[in-house]
Structure 1
Amino acid sequence: MTDEKPPMSQTPLSWMPVVVMVVIAIVDVVVGPGVGLLPLVAVGPAFAGLVGGWRRTAVIGVLALLLCVGLGLYNGLFAERRGYGAMASVAGVTGVGIAAAVMRSRREAELASMRSIAEVAQRVLLRPVPLNAGAFQVAVSYTSVVAEARIGGDLYEVVASPHGVRVIVGDVQGKGLAAVETAAVVLGAFREAAYDERDLAGVGERVERSVARELEGERFVTAVLAEIDVGRDLTLLNYGHPPPVLVRCDGSVDFPEPPSYALPLGLTAHGTEGPDPFGVRFEPGEQLLLYTDGVTEARDEDGRFYPLGERTHLLNEPDTHRALDALREDLVRHVGGPPGDDAAMLLLRHHRHGDGNPPPSGG
């Protein structure tokens, strides 16, 4: 078992045990043996066990024992039991501190292993989308509400299939591992169907069947599926999900909504029909932003929702990824911190005559 070098943020804390013992020694010398400060030297190894590794704690303990011996001889405390009692106290606290440091190191190793597994799961489940898909530039942003997490209940994927560029953005009901498992089912079904099915409705039906087989009870997934190809309109399939944002060449903004909303994926047991695909004009120079409700339902300190339609001018940045980063940073500023829900955004920019410039802003 090895001690790791403490991070820079912990360096001041790592010196605290030594500082505490030096202060106690100075005060003890100044006030004399009558005050009885010698047992307080045990504070040093006790604190070391909280902030350092077991080896460092043992070293601090040895220094504390030597300090006890020195102060005890200086104050003549070994002529009575006070000096020996202080040394026993320091030795006992040092032993407890070493045990605490060992247990903490093991927990930190387990946490590091879990984080490593989470990173692998992220790469498998939410693998990087292509920077370019056909005539489109692509960028994604994902913020998990769970502290230290890199993955949650939101999902996205871009597939450049023989039938066009196909995209999905979805939001799984619930949180935790169950939501991650459901997201894996949806993405696995979509990736397979996006290559095989000739039309977007067929892709949606395949995903719906897979989700219906796996989900139990009232669990569901809202999602938007999109199909885009050069020379054809954008086709959308909406399963109870917030409508995407279309930023036009003149800077105007559309939220294309379906003729009628369908139930989310996984609720076919209610006997309702799935959504009907509908077409939307999507021309070179325009941008399509798909997102989850963690974006539009993000509130500021006054309870106001994030005004996504008013902030699309931030997407005028020439670089697609920087444009989406600017929007995400604005969302964080609006909330005053991380959003209260998972927030995913996927931006597709339609090249204008082969370049990657954004459309001109209208405001």
Structure 2
Amino acid sequence: MPVAMMAAVAGVDVVAGPGVGLLPLVSLGPAFSGLVGGWRRTALIGLVALVLCIGLGLYNGLFEERRGFAALGSVVGVTGAGIAAAVMRSRREAELASVRSIAELAQRVLLRPVPLTAGPLQAAVSYTSAVAEARIGGDLYEVVASPHGVRVIVGDVQGKGLAAVETAAVVLGAFREAAHDEADLVGLGERLERSVARELEGEKFVTAILVEIGADHEAVFLNYGHPAPMLVRRDGTADFPEPPSYALPLGLGAHGADGPKPFRVDFAPGEQLLLYTDGVTEARDDRGRFYPLAGRAHLLKDPDAHHALQALREDLVHHVAAPAHDDAAMLLLRYHGHGHGPGQPVPGE
């Protein structure tokens, strides 16, 4: 673009003659270069513009009056400003790259990659932050293979930004420790409630769902005001197991309400369990329609769990067709049993 601009100005100047007064516009070359290129490239374009300005000035006889020197001063001044702009932009880009690397490191510490397999399960995760340029936000997830079975949490912290990230860190830290220590899921939930209550102030809260999956082909749920999971059966039908009674989110236990009651759901080899946050089901398209998750169960048919979840995420992004307004986390669990994938028969059935 800088070269094209200078070539266009030179061509018009030669054709139209010195009376039009286009010579100062040669400085557009280094001006545009400073916006898109480095300082060395800007300086080189500025040097070319200066040589071009001198050549056109001599051709038009402008150095016999002040206009020629004014044009030279314009090129030199704009080139200097372009070099300064390029240097400042390079520094900002370096700072942004450093911030991104720190965010990625924080993500690996806070939201560690889930294990590819845990007990009889295969796991895959997808996370999208609503904050521009961010890698992490207020949604959280974890899978722990404990002595009491595979224990899972998916949660959503009220609010966004650094405060939400700090709260997510508290919940995940407490869960990772308690998942190994507590013998039952209710005790695990009570321990999380105490940890969150100590850290949160006012009316802040965390919705969460806890899951325990053992070897008895059942999943035990404990729901703290979180969206119901989607259970995809072997025939492709989808259920959304609801708790017998809804409980308050984590952090609101001081209001005196009873805690959530555990409930059990059959979960056998060849079936899939999708845990997610409300950033998925509340995602709207340009007409204000919510994302129809129940009608997208067929997207999870790919034999590879990560590819299946990626297909669902791409469909979600296509539905919104705009920057997300809320964090969206999805955790897919596949009960493979003895190596049997979704839709494959289990011996003896």
TM-score tier, shorter chain, comes to over 0.9
Q: Which residue of 2 aligns with 1:278?
A: 263
Per-residue CA deviation, residues 242-294 of structure 1 (Å, 9 max, x unaligned), is 11111122333221111111110111221222212121121222111111111
Q: Which residue of 1 aligns with 2:218?
A: 233
Q: Give, in whole Å, the separation in 2 of the partners of 1:313 and 1:84.
A: 72
1:204 maps to a residue whose letter is G
Per-residue CA deviation, residues 98-123 of structure 1 (Å, 9 max, x unaligned), is 11111111111111111111110111
Q: Describe the shift of the 1:254–1:189 C-alpha distance in structure 2 as closer, same or farther (beyond 3 A).
A: same
Q: Aligned match of 2:54 in 64, 69, 75? A: 69
Q: Give, in whole Å, the separation in 2 of the partners of 1:105 and 1:334.
A: 36
Matched, 1:128 2:113: yes
Q: Runs ≥4 in structure 1, deviation > 6 angstroms? A: none
Judge conservation of contact 1:300–1:335 (CA < 8 Å) in 2: yes
Matched, 1:189 2:174: yes
Deviation of residue 360 (structure 1)?
A: 6.7
Q: Give, in whole Å, the separation in 2 of the partners of 1:106 and 1:194.
A: 45
Q: Which residue of 1 aligns with 2:342?
A: 358
Please give the TM-score of this superposition, normalised by the length of structure 2: 0.95
Matched, 1:161 2:146: yes
Q: Which residue of 1 aligns with 2:302?
A: 317
Judge conservation of contact 1:318–1:356 (CA < 8 Å) in 2: no
Q: Give, in whole Å, the separation in 2 of the partners of 1:71 and 1:250.
A: 78
Question: The residue matched to 1:130 in structure 2 has which SS?
Answer: coil
Judge conservation of contact 1:137–1:356 (CA < 8 Å) in 2: no
Q: 1:1-363 counterparts in 2 under 5 A?
A: 16-231=1-216, 233-352=218-337, 354-359=338-343
Question: The residue matched to 1:279 in structure 2 has which SS?
Answer: strand
Judge conservation of contact 1:246–1:288 (CA < 8 Å) in 2: yes
- 5+ residue gaps, structure 2, are none
Deviation of residue 333 (structure 1)?
A: 2.3
Judge conservation of contact 1:126–1:157 (CA < 8 Å) in 2: yes
- 5+ residue gaps, structure 1, are 1-15
Deviation of residue 332 (structure 1)?
A: 1.9
Judge conservation of contact 1:316–1:360 (CA < 8 Å) in 2: no
Q: Give, in whole Å, the separation in 1 of the partners of 2:64 and 2:235.
A: 92
Question: The residue matched to 1:166 in structure 2 has which SS?
Answer: strand
Judge conservation of contact 2:237–2:297 (CA < 8 Å) in 1: no
Q: Which residue of 2 aligns with 1:9?
A: none
Judge conservation of contact 1:190–1:207 (CA < 8 Å) in 2: yes
Question: The residue matched to 1:159 in structure 2 has which SS?
Answer: strand
1:293 maps to a residue whose letter is D
Question: The residue matched to 1:211 in structure 2 has which SS?
Answer: helix
Q: Give, in whole Å, the separation in 1 of the partners of 2:184 and 2:7.
A: 76
Per-residue CA deviation, residues 150-169 of structure 1 (Å, 9 max, x unaligned), is 21111100000111000000
Q: Percent identity?
A: 77
Deviation of residue 337 (structure 1)?
A: 4.0
Judge conservation of contact 2:217–2:269 (CA < 8 Å) in 1: no
Per-residue CA deviation, residues 298-354 of structure 1 (Å, 9 max, x unaligned), is 1222222122112112212211111111221222222234543211111111114x1
Judge conservation of contact 1:306–1:334 (CA < 8 Å) in 2: yes
Question: The residue matched to 1:34 in structure 2 has which SS?
Answer: helix
2:138 maps to a residue whose letter is G
Q: Which residue of 2 aligns with 1:5?
A: none
1:358 maps to a residue whose letter is P
Judge conservation of contact 1:251–1:360 (CA < 8 Å) in 2: no
Judge conservation of contact 2:193–2:250 (CA < 8 Å) in 1: yes
Q: Give, in whole Å, the separation in 2 of the partners of 1:47 and 1:307.
A: 46
Per-residue CA deviation, residues 13-35 of structure 1 (Å, 9 max, x unaligned), is xxx11111111111111111111
Q: Give, in whole Å, the separation in 2 of the partners of 1:59 and 1:227.
A: 65
Q: Give, in whole Å, the separation in 2 of the partners of 1:52 and 1:253.
A: 53
Q: Give, in whole Å, the separation in 1 of the partners of 2:221 and 2:29.
A: 65
Judge conservation of contact 1:185–1:210 (CA < 8 Å) in 2: yes
Please give the TM-score of this superposition, normalised by the length of structure 1: 0.92
Q: Give, in whole Å, the separation in 1 of the partners of 2:80 and 2:284.
A: 50
Q: Give, in whole Å, the separation in 1 of the partners of 2:56 and 2:99.
A: 47
1:349 maps to a residue whose letter is R
Judge conservation of contact 2:210–2:222 (CA < 8 Å) in 1: yes
